[in-house]
Amino acid sequence: MSDTEENTAMSEPCVLITSSDDSFKEDELIKQILNSNTLPEPTKTDKGVVWYPWTINNKYYTAEVSLCAVPNTFHMSLEIFQATQAFIAYFDSSVKDGLEKLNPWISVVEEIAPEVLILVCDKVCENGVTRHEAQQWCLSHSFELIELNPQDVPDEDDDFPESTGVKRIVQALNANVWSNVEMKNGSNQGLGLMSSLVAVAGRHNASRSSAEPSLSNLPIVGAEDDEKHEQKESEKSATQEDSVVDAMTDLDIQELADLTAGNADVDNFERLFTKLKEMKDKASSLPHDQRKVHAERVAKAFWTAIGGDNDEIDSLSSGEES
């Protein structure tokens, strides 16, 4: 490798990929991300660490990223530390101590603080690491849990299906704002942004609802007399809060539309994704049965705010207004 190629590899942002499962190496996950049966020629190899090139090319930008296979924390270096902008850890969910083997990485990840944190396994296992245990670990360390071959697949009839497996990994990496991103010029990208808003909100809500047990389903002895009174108070406060929420949502939508209409530079792009995340987090506070309706309402309002055609947005409707 020439000095120029090596310097390029060092300057590119990297996705640090590690596996604590001896039977599933980092290279296997990299092949799945690249959707290839073979690995590309490494841009660099150093003391057990291998850098593979990956060009992210989507509707909004292109970015040259390194998929960096790091077997364990002993292989970490200052170069990797400074370049890491996403972290993906695979673990063996079939054994009880599968998550414990990732403990050495926790302090490293907390210091790097990458934007993307993904925990991957083949599928959660009742005889090994259960779904609840994996989700609690993710909540504690701000990771997203992704199963490559989940037992529970999304409902095909769902208007906002949740992405799973390696598709979701690639999706999350595409949503990141990389340090070397090159924005694409062009117009008529509003529909893509709107669809992304709906999809991201749907995915986030699905993961949050599965991770958080519903206290309302637990029986409470002696609470029958209070239920009717609490229901009336809840309906009253909900009516008062709706107007406040709607006003805040309108402001969020207008700001999102302004960012979309702005210059296609890195700062504007980063603010746009930050705003999308803020709106996604706000939606997660809604009751589960209201989240999907809210996400679609926001998407429709956003499409209208940027001058979109009503016929196009109607084609994405879940049927609530039909």
What is the structure's pLDDT at 253? 64
Residue 194, CA distances (Å) to 159, 191, 296 in order: 14, 5, 9
* C-alpha radius of gyration, the chain, whole number: 22
pLDDT surpassing 50 at residue 299: yes
Instruction: Please provide the average confidence, as pLDDT, over all residues in the chain.
Output: 74
pLDDT surpassing 70 at residue 228: no
| Amino acid in position 194 | M
> Which DSSP symbol is given to 100?
G
Neighbours of 181 (CB within 10 A): 19
Q: What's the rounded Cα separation, in Å, for the pair 173 and 35?
A: 14
Whether 14 contacts 147, CB under 8 Å: no
Digit-coded pLDDT (tens) for 105-145? 999 999 999 989 999 999 999 999 999 999 999 999 999 99
Neighbours of 156 (CB within 10 A): 6
Q: What is the separation of C-alpha 296 from the centre of its chain, rounded to a whole number of angstroms?
A: 19
With cut-offs at 50, 70 and 90, classify the pLDDT of residue 4.
very low
pLDDT surpassing 80 at residue 155: no
300/240: higher pLDDT: 300
Nearest to 193 by CA among 111, 98, 306: 306
pLDDT surpassing 70 at residue 85: yes
Q: What's the rounded Cα separation, in Å, for the pair 184 and 104?
A: 39
Q: What are phi and psi of 65, to 5 degrees?
A: -125, 145
Q: What percent of the chain has pLDDT over 70?
A: 51
